[in-house]
Structure formats: structure tokens, C-alpha cells
A and B are shown apart, each in its own frame.
Chain A
Amino acid sequence: MPGSNGGPRRPLLPMHSAGPYSTYRLFEWCMATMMVLIAFTLAMPGDTMERNALKPIAHMGFSEPNMALIFGCVGSVRVMALFLNGYINNVRIGPKGAYARAAGAAVGCAIMGQFATALVYDAFTVAHAPSFVIPVFGTLAGFEAISVYIAVLDGVSRKSRIGKALAALEEVRG
């Protein structure tokens, strides 16, 4: 019978109503959350961007307030797009959420790549030892590029039958 196969065991994550669109986007959720939290920590006073290796980046214009602004804006846009993309999915509203996700992933990829480059340069010139954060940022940059691909691939206006019927009804009704 349909209802009797469960038992007391519950899944770890309760499925949100945006769930079918979000379960396979866990990396993008992770990056969006990370961006928002990074924005909060960078906005706190003090030397929050640990500046030994990233000081040249800060001198090039990406200081802590600027980084906090960029990360906050992009991260909140990504969270909004990831949350709303499961809902807005009809004929009238196009795949703007997927394009917002792709743009946010592109920004994240660029920034993580810049950080990794700065750390590599620091490892070769100043510290004479590689930092363990280099693979962290490098891997984040690579997988952000892959999520750009996935987001653009998701950017199809999926016209469901109900959406098509609603649009046709509105056209008939005028």
C-alpha cells in the first residue's frame, strides 16, 4: 500500500516545496550561503581578510568593504534565485533565475580564482611554502565554473501544460 512503507525513519532533510529544484543544487546553495556569511564576516571591524597574502589584492581595489559589498550582493541574489527558481517556472516568466544563478557563479569563480592566484604568488615570492587554502580556493573556482554550465543549462523556459493553457486562456480572454 502506498502509505505503509515508511516506518519511523525520517529523511535528514525535509523536502522543501522548492525541493526538486534544489536538491541537486547543493553546491550552489553552499556557495551562496558562504558568500553571505563571508560578507558578514568581512563587514566586521578589524583585519578580517587575513592580509598577509591578500594585501596586494586589497591594494588593487578589493578591500574589505568592497569585498563585503560584492559578496553580499551576489550571495543574496543567488539565494533569491535559488529559492525562487522552483516556483517561477511557467510560460510568462522566463529563465531569469537561472541566468542570475549563472552570473553569480561566474562572479564567484572569478573572485575565487583571483584569491587562489594571489596565494600562489605569495607562496612563490614571500612565504616560500604553499598555503593549504590554495586547493580550497582553486577547487571552489573550478566547481563554480561547472555550476555556471549547469545554471545556463537550466536556463530553459520550461513551458508546462498548465502554463501554456493559462497563457492561451489569457490570450483568448484578451
Chain B
Amino acid sequence: MDWLTFLKDVIATQQFLQIFVGGCTMMLIGWMVTRARGDRDHLPPPAPVGIADVPPPFLQGPREAVDLMRELRDLARR
């Protein structure tokens, strides 16, 4: 049972815990990166909802430009 107390003493040090949590964080980051790369390659791109995907209050200023671009888009579609 001596090695168990030794193991407990090793695990309960703050250095070990910090490094352990750092490793878990790195694994989480790596999972996020790989998941994002896979999603980027295999999932379809998001649907084109509009000219610019901003909430409507932000579109109050360049309204004319947006409408002009919508008309151009419709013309190009025909």
C-alpha cells in the first residue's frame, strides 16, 4: 500500500493537477480543431440568407446599396 500513498501524494500536488488540466485543455482544443476541419470539409456551406448576414438594425444605413445589390443579384440570376 505504500505505492498508493505515493501515488496519492504525486497526484495531489498542484503541479500535477495543473499539467493534467492543461493536457485536458489541449485535448479539447485539438478536438475542436479536428472537428472544425472535418465540418468545414464535409458539411455544406451555410445557406445564403442575404447580401450580408448582419442583424437588420445594422442595415439601416446602407439600405440603398443593399437594395441595389439585390436587384443586381436578381438580374444576374435571370
| Bound form: Cα–Cα A94–B59 in Å | 28
| Bound form: Cα–Cα A141–B28 in Å | 10
- Counting chain B CB atoms within 10 Å of each CB, the highest count among A20, A60, A151, A153 belongs to A153
Nearest-CB residue, chain A, relative to B29: A106
Nearest-Cβ distance from residue A31 to partner chain B, whole angstroms? 15
- Is B32 within 8 A of A146, CB to CB? yes
Contacts of B29 on A, CB cut-off 8 Å? Answer: 106, 109-110, 145, 148
- Is A56 within 8 A of B14, CB to CB? yes
Number of residues from A at the complex interface, CB < 8 A: 37
Which among B28, B53, B55, B63 is the interface contact of A6 at CB below 8 angstroms? Answer: B63
Chain A, range 1-44, C-beta contacts under 8 Å to B: 2-3, 5-6, 10-15, 19-20, 23-24
- Is B32 within 8 A of A57, CB to CB? no
Contacts of A106 on B, CB cut-off 8 Å? Answer: 29
Which among A5, A14, A57, A153 is the interface contact of B63 at CB below 8 angstroms? Answer: A5
Nearest-Cβ distance from residue A84 to partner chain B, whole angstroms? 18
Contacts of B63 on A, CB cut-off 8 Å? Answer: 2-3, 5-6
| Bound form: Cα–Cα A15–B40 in Å | 28
Contact flag A121-B14 (CB < 8 Å), given A2-B64, A6-B63, A11-B58: yes
Q: B35 within 8 Å of A by Cβ?
A: yes
Chain B, range 17-51, C-beta contacts under 8 Å to A: 17-18, 21-22, 24-26, 28-29, 32-33, 35-37, 39-40
Could you name 27 residue pairs across A and B whose Cβ atoms are closer than 8 Å? A2-B64, A10-B60, A11-B61, A15-B61, A19-B54, A20-B53, A23-B54, A57-B18, A110-B25, A110-B29, A113-B25, A114-B21, A117-B18, A118-B14, A118-B18, A121-B18, A145-B29, A145-B32, A146-B32, A148-B32, A149-B36, A150-B36, A151-B36, A152-B32, A153-B39, A153-B40, A155-B36
A residues adjacent to B (C-beta < 8 A): 2-3, 5-6, 10-15, 19-20, 23-24, 56-57, 60, 102, 106, 109-110, 113-114, 117-118, 121, 141, 145-146, 148-153, 155-156
B residues adjacent to A (C-beta < 8 A): 14-15, 17-18, 21-22, 24-26, 28-29, 32-33, 35-37, 39-40, 52-55, 57-58, 60-64, 67
